């Protein structure tokens, strides 16, 4: 006859295997409805809804970043500008300012000539993209599927600080 300790150890082993299998199958993976859900549940700072006169607004980030640093907001936005399309927006939305990123986002000690227009378009783009749901085949976003999504990669750089 098996001892109670051996029986308990066997039950514990089966439980560990069951939990491990469930974890591997994604049972404990957080799932998110859209980009905004991920931002809210992970305590990130979304700048797409901040009015222009407040600190951390897209307009202030553009106007106050005069260092030319590759980590600065101008550089981040410039690097993602070509992947932000007018066609991403629907309805009566601001127009995307025309021009090459090198011209639009000049690194200098001055305000950008089109910072107001750039900020308006960027805010509209962020507001649209924060509602992005996962493709039907995926169901809901997970950390892994988000990190692989090209829209998320742009959203993360230009809509979060």
Q: What distance in Å separates the CA atoms of residue 32 and residue 153, rounded to the nearest whole number?
A: 16
**pLDDT given at position 119:** 97
Nearest in space to 146 (alpha carbons), one of 156, 131, 161 = 156
Q: Is the pTM of this model over 0.85?
A: no
Residue spans of the domains in the chain: they are 1-30, 31-159
Q: How does residue 17 score in pLDDT terms, banded at 50, 70 and 90?
A: low
**pLDDT given at position 68:** 76
Residue 67, CA distances (Å) to 6, 48, 82, 106 in order: 67, 22, 22, 11
Residue-wise pLDDT tens digits, 37-64: 999 999 999 999 999 999 999 999 999 9
Local structure of 64: helix, strand or coil: helix
Residue-wise pLDDT tens digits, 3-13: 666 565 555 55
**Do 65 and 72 contact (CB within 8 A), yes or no?**
yes
């Amino acid at each position: 006859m098996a001892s109670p300790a051996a029986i308990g150890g066997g039950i514990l082993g089966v439980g560990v295997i069951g939990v491990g299998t469930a974890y591997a199958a994604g049972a404990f993976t957080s799932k998110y409805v859209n980009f905004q859900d991920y931002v809210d549940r992970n305590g990130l700072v979304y700048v797409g809804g901040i009015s222009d006169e407040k600190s951390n607004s897209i307009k202030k980030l553009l106007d106050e970043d005069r260092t030319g640093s590759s980590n600065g907001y101008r550089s981040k936005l410039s690097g993602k500008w070509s992947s932000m399309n007018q066609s991403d927006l629907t309805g009566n939305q601001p127009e995307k300012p025309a021009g090459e990123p090198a011209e639009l986002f000049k690194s200098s000690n001055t305000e950008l000539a089109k910072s107001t227009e750039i900020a308006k378009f960027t805010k509209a783009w962020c507001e649209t993209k924060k509602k992005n749901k996962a493709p039907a085949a995926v169901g809901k976003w997970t950390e892994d599927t988000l990190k692989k999504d090209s829209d998320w990669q742009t959203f993360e750089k230009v809509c979060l600080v």
